Copies of this chain bind each other. A is one copy, B any other.
């Protein structure tokens, strides 16, 4: 079972698997030469694929934080595995949103947003939810694009927090520089 054929079996295997994945062709077509997806490419892809459906297309800013959420090596770009991870997350959030946007208006209300956040399993206080809604509402309503931006940030910040909360105590001591790095990057 020594590596046969020489080279880099790990990477080779991953490429093989990827090539059999129905999303692989799609990914490579978008990623182009460099084999990675940046924010502009992601925006184009999410618009062309019709992901947002009847909702407004994602803003470039929302696409940038989608990339940042999964960009653990800070390249500003996204590989195939991150791309698939993002699609899974986006599908979940979209379903969650549509559950509350029953009249398909493209936006949800204050109390529906509170329920949507709770439905995602985050245990955050009503004050924190209020602060989030204050930030993301437009004329009292939360639109799909802002809702997704909010989901992305909430997940990325929670991930950053959990990664540091190794003893699972529910609190983390941040040196200033680390605090800035993990909050400004998203």
Instruction: Enumerate chain A interface residues (CB-CB to B < 8 A).
Output: 59, 61, 64-65, 68, 71, 74-76, 122-125, 127-128, 130-132, 134-135, 137, 150, 153-154, 157-158, 161, 165, 170-177, 179-181, 183-186
Contact = CB atoms under 8 A, between A and B. Distances in A.
Q: How many copies does the complex hold?
A: 2
12 contacts: A59-B61, A61-B61, A76-B137, A123-B177, A132-B184, A135-B185, A154-B180, A157-B180, A171-B173, A171-B174, A171-B175, A173-B173
Question: Which 3 pairs show the lowest CB-CB distances between chains A and B?
Answer: A128-B181, A131-B185, A76-B134
A179 to B, nearest CB: 6
Contacts of A127: 181
B135 A186 contact: yes
A32 to B, nearest CB: 15
A105 B76 CA distance: 23
Contacts of A150: 184
A54 B180 CA distance: 31
Contact of A124 (B64, B130, B135, B180): B180
A128 to B, nearest CB: 4
Contact of A176 (B171, B177, B184, B185): B171
Contacts of A176: 123-124, 158, 161, 165, 170-172
A120 B137 CA distance: 31
A124 B177 contact: yes
A61 B150 CA distance: 13
